[in-house]
Amino acid sequence: MLRTVLSGLRPRRLVPTLLAIVLAVGFVAGTLIFSDTAESALYDEYARAARHVGVAVTARSGDRLPPSTVDVVRHTEGVATADGRMAEQLPLLDGRGRLVTEFGAPGYGINVGSEGPLRGFDLRTGRLPAARGEAALDAGTSAKIGAGVGAVVTVVAADESRQELQVVGIVEVTGFNGTGTSTVVLTEPELVRLTGATGYREVVGSLRPGADETAVHDRITIGGRVRTGAQLRHDLAREASGQLSGLLVGLQLFAFVAVLVAGFFIYNTFSILMAQRQRETALLRCVGASRAQIFRLVLSESALVGLAGSALGFALGVAVAFGLSRGATLVGLPEGSLVLTAAPATVSVAVGSVVTVLSAVVPAFRATRVPPIAALRASVPAAGRRRALVVCAALAAALGTAVTVTGLRTTGATEAMVLVMAGGIGNFLALLLLSPLFMGRLVAALGWLPGRVFGVPARLAAANAHRNPGRTAATTATLLIGVALMAGGSTVAATVNRTAEAQLNEAFPVDYLLTPALAGGTVPATVAAALQADRTFALAAPIRQATATAGGRSLLVGTVDLRAYQPKVTAGRLTDFRPGTAIVPAASDALGSRRVGSSLELIAGGRHVTVTVAATVQSSSLVGDVVVSGSDFAALFPDFTGDSMVLVRAAPDLAGGVTRDRLDAALATHPLVQVDDLAEVRDDRNAAIDQFVALIAALLGFALVIAIVGIANTLSLSVLERTRESALIRALGLTRGQLRATLLVEALLMATAGALVGVAFGLLYGWLTTEAAFGAVQPLLTIPVGQLTAFVALAALAGTLAAVLPSRRAARLSVVTAIAD
């Protein structure tokens, strides 16, 4: 029997199947290896802080360790050396005197340390600071503000004075608040002088050879949190994976899509292959092979092919991972060499083999059910399993719709989103199952126009795409999955962008937002006063915020000039707002069961103020959970000085550059006031959205590659099947070019149909997902028409490209031999 299996493995015939497996496994393996690599690179980055550390004492939050701690640790039995690590907020200004921030947070200063091996950073170029006025800068910030070795940078000391420092070195360091925070390395006395540091955040010690970490750990009994080096590394790793989790979820999604697409792809190729070998199978049956033998034959063949394809695919995956990790450094992930573990190899090879064997089982089973004589005679039409198909689809759709509706009714944004997406998967499965029923018709409908314009070849193409709906559906499934995901993603992105923009514009019809750079600080009241006196600014409205309690729950009470705050009202009227009343965002927890007219008692520091809800509004709680009048706020918090933030609007007819310069000038004496330029906020958000769209584009690229191979596979096999048919029309007067055109149009129609259905589904679920995610806020559904059109056009182009080779093969056919056959 094995001899028959091996003789059945004709290389040429198995190329499409093998290609399918290789590509699919390659992607799965690539994603998995890349996850491992990215994870390990990030762990390495974080682990820097734990290098050579055998024991660490960390200060409690907000606390510092006294300088004596270093001596205590150093003199503990088993400790070789010890060093103290300082980290204090030290705002850095860029060349134009603006604060350097990462996610709105200013940077830190750290001490250079006295024990080289215990340093939490690596020197890249230059040297470490050794004297007053010298500093080393982290590589990221150095690149960001363009300050290399030899440059002079300005920091803001604790007394708000500006101090110039000479950059003498560039270091690699994991910022105090994660990667990206600006970090200035100073000598310890300089750091103390600038920041007024009173002690260490952490004291670390290395151990003498042979000393036991746990024993040393147990000997240290001073204040602070004592951890062994292993514990520290473990905690750092957890922090790192927190950073990575978003990316990992994305990659897992990729891998999941890859497996799904691959499964379809392999199944499709195998069923076509089996259909073509029906006669061969029948012949085997006629000469005495039993059903079980045939079944085993197909299974062992598919297992062999599956294993071979998976092995090759894994090799491809290594290459894919290499490419991905190169690309990842561009988006700011740390660089690292490839990490190859057993898991990706096992998983991807298992997926490849199992999916291949499963894909072979159904057609193999079908092949054995055909009576041998019938199979020998001519092509046997595939037995329809319509009812089972429709029942399965109906079940999936019912379940999917139920889950979606539940999701839309759920209040928690995250759960709602997850439920809607899960419902989407159910409905998508139903769509895939039902696609044989409508895909053919859709293709025929799409073919109408080209049929009119290009005549017979296009009409033949539409008819061909229509003749085997199951195969057309399976071929387009890959594109459908890819395009649906992309259309959904870009709809979500566009809707989020527009909704956020509208919310920002509605809630804050302003140009700049001034906030304190340091946590817990305020913007001096003089800032708002100075800006109000300047004609350049139409508005400078301070917002004050403080925490009070109401009904036992703590909430943020804010007050603001209503000229700068015009949110959309959901109930009541803004004009009713006066002392003694409050405006409450509809989504705020403070509202509870209260409606317009209900009263709300606010308590702070033993003072009570009761307000009546004048209006509920549709906006996030940027001002506060409860917005009260200035006098009520003063009554509740009499000791409050300064402003929590200032909203600034420029005079209408001034250019952005002019107002920004005036604003920077006005703030020159207040370096710790941070300016959020809403135009920049928009740019940042647009950049984030662009990154998301780029991710979607990567998915598109992947889906297109697989789809091209899939369509090419189906078409080449169809070309083989239709040899005599092609010969007939060639004899009747179809030119070579027209025959080629027929196949190109067939592919074009299939791809377009798949892409259109995908766009429709993606649009629907993109909209539902944002509906669920926004909760009380009404999202503004935005259809990214340009992008969606581009997806369909790209898919159509890819489909046509896929048909190029098969159509050439079809056109090469010799009429006479095919007819005589």
Is 453 among the residues that bind another protein (CB under 8 A)?
no
Cα three-residue angle 463-466-468, rounded to 5 degrees: 125
Pairing of strands 202-207, 55-58: antiparallel
Is 734 among the residues that bind another protein (CB under 8 A)?
yes
Q: Under a CB-based contact definition with an 8 Å cutoff, are residues 294 and 284 in contact?
A: yes
Is 815 among the residues that bind another protein (CB under 8 A)?
yes
User: How many C-beta neighbours within 10 Å does residue 209 have?
Assistant: 6
Query: Which of 466, 471, 594, 662 is in the footprint of another protein by CB under 8 A?
Result: 466
Q: In the complex with another protein, which residue's Cβ is closer, 456 or 760?
A: 456
Q: Least Å distance between CB 724 and another protein? A: 5
Q: Least Å distance between CB 355 and another protein? A: 32
Q: In the complex with another protein, which residue's Cβ is closer, 49 or 753?
A: 753
Q: In the complex with another protein, which residue's Cβ is closer, 720 or 815?
A: 815
**Ramachandran category for residue 206: left, alpha or beta (phi over 0 → left; psi -120 to 50 → alpha):** beta
Q: In the complex with another protein, which residue's Cβ is closer, 139 or 729?
A: 729
Applying CB under 8 A, the span of 51-59, 144-152, 228-236, 733-741 interacting with another protein comes to 733-741
Applying CB under 8 A, the span of 38-46, 95-103, 359-367, 735-743 interacting with another protein comes to 735-743
Applying CB under 8 A, the span of 106-114, 280-288, 451-459, 576-584 interacting with another protein comes to 451-459
Residue the block writes with tokens 């057993």: 342
Q: In the complex with another protein, which residue's Cβ is closer, 533 or 731?
A: 731
Q: In the complex with another protein, which residue's Cβ is closer, 480 or 813?
A: 813
Q: In the complex with another protein, which residue's Cβ is closer, 52 or 736?
A: 736
Closest CA to 34 of 378, 338, 397, 354: 338
Q: Least Å distance between CB 799 and another protein? A: 20
Is 730 among the residues that bind another protein (CB under 8 A)?
yes
Residues 156-195 that bind another protein (CB under 8 A): none
Is 141 among the residues that bind another protein (CB under 8 A)?
no
Residue 82 φ/ψ, nearest 5 degrees:
-145, 155
Q: How far apart are CA 777 and CA 16, in angstroms?
A: 50
Query: Which of 464, 495, 588, 752 is in the footprint of another protein by CB under 8 A?
Result: 464
Is 411 among the residues that bind another protein (CB under 8 A)?
no
Query: Which of 319, 388, 398, 731 is in the footprint of another protein by CB under 8 A?
Result: 731
Is 738 among the residues that bind another protein (CB under 8 A)?
yes
Q: How far apart are CA 619 and CA 339, in angstroms?
A: 46
DSSP letters of 688-754? HHHHHHHHHHHHHHHHHHHHHHHHHHHHHHHHHHTHHHHHHHHHHT--HHHHHHHHHHHHHHHHHHH
Applying CB under 8 A, the span of 3-11, 122-130, 681-689, 720-728 interacting with another protein comes to 720-728
Q: How far apart are CA 451 and CA 462, in angstroms?
A: 8
Is 382 among the residues that bind another protein (CB under 8 A)?
no
Q: In the complex with another protein, which residue's Cβ is closer, 230 or 729?
A: 729
Applying CB under 8 A, the span of 111-119, 203-211, 275-283, 722-730 interacting with another protein comes to 722-730
3-state secondary structure of 161: coil
**Ramachandran category for residue 617: left, alpha or beta (phi over 0 → left; psi -120 to 50 → alpha):** beta
Is 725 among the residues that bind another protein (CB under 8 A)?
yes
Q: Least Å distance between CB 388 and another protein? A: 24
Cα three-residue angle 320-325-329, rounded to 5 degrees: 150
Letter for the amino acid at 275?
A
DSSP tag of 197: -
Q: How far apart are CA 118 and CA 206, in angstroms?
A: 7
Q: In the complex with another protein, which residue's Cβ is closer, 237 or 456?
A: 456
Show the tokens assigned to 409. Answer: 């009714």
Is 729 among the residues that bind another protein (CB under 8 A)?
yes
User: How many C-beta neighbours within 10 Å does residue 276 have?
Assistant: 14
Query: Which of 665, 668, 688, 819 is in the footprint of another protein by CB under 8 A?
Result: 819
Q: Least Å distance between CB 730 and another protein? A: 7
Q: Least Å distance between CB 259 and another protein? A: 35
Closest CA to 154 of 110, 184, 198, 187: 184
Reported residue count of the chain is 821
Q: Under a CB-based contact definition with an 8 Å cutoff, are residues 45 and 239 in contact?
A: no
DSSP letters of 218-232? HH--SSSEEEEHHHH
Q: How far apart are CA 192 and CA 284, in angstroms?
A: 88
Q: In the complex with another protein, which residue's Cβ is closer, 53 or 734?
A: 734
Q: Under a CB-based contact definition with an 8 Å cutoff, are residues 513 and 647 in contact?
A: yes
Letter for the amino acid at 475?
T
Closest CA to 185 of 139, 133, 127, 137: 137
Cα 48 to Cα 173, 174, 204, 233, 487: the distances in Å are: 8, 8, 13, 9, 41
Is 607 among the residues that bind another protein (CB under 8 A)?
no
Is 732 among the residues that bind another protein (CB under 8 A)?
yes
Q: In the complex with another protein, which residue's Cβ is closer, 729 or 801?
A: 729
Is 724 among the residues that bind another protein (CB under 8 A)?
yes
Q: How far apart are CA 1 and CA 76, in angstroms?
A: 74
Q: In the complex with another protein, which residue's Cβ is closer, 196 or 737?
A: 737
Q: In the complex with another protein, which residue's Cβ is closer, 47 or 728?
A: 728
Q: Least Å distance between CB 460 and another protein? A: 7
- Judged by CB under 8 A, the number of residues near another protein is 25
| Helix (H) or strand (E) run with residue 403 in it | helix 386-409
Q: Least Å distance between CB 466 and another protein? A: 7
Q: In the complex with another protein, which residue's Cβ is closer, 648 or 803?
A: 803
Applying CB under 8 A, the span of 173-181, 351-359, 387-395, 732-740 interacting with another protein comes to 732-740
Applying CB under 8 A, the span of 74-82, 460-468, 475-483, 765-773 interacting with another protein comes to 460-468
Q: In the complex with another protein, which residue's Cβ is closer, 644 or 726?
A: 726
Q: Under a CB-based contact definition with an 8 Å cutoff, are residues 705 and 470 in contact?
A: no
Q: In the complex with another protein, which residue's Cβ is closer, 462 or 757?
A: 462
Is 460 among the residues that bind another protein (CB under 8 A)?
yes
Q: How far apart are CA 640 and CA 544, in angstroms?
A: 8
Provide Rg for the chain, Cα atoms. 34
Q: In the complex with another protein, which residue's Cβ is closer, 260 or 748?
A: 748
Is 735 among the residues that bind another protein (CB under 8 A)?
yes
Q: How far apart are CA 290 and CA 657, in angstroms?
A: 84
Is 456 among the residues that bind another protein (CB under 8 A)?
yes
Cα 385 to chain center, whole Å? Answer: 39
Query: HSE of 494 in the Cβ direction (CA atoms, 13 Å)?
Result: 19
Is 455 among the residues that bind another protein (CB under 8 A)?
yes
Q: Least Å distance between CB 815 and another protein? A: 5
Show the tokens assigned to 282. Answer: 């029948």
Q: Least Å distance between CB 733 and another protein? A: 2
Q: How far apart are CA 291 and CA 536, in angstroms?
A: 89
**Residues lying near another protein in the complex (CB under 8 A):** 455-456, 459-460, 463-464, 466-467, 724-725, 728-738, 815-816, 819-820
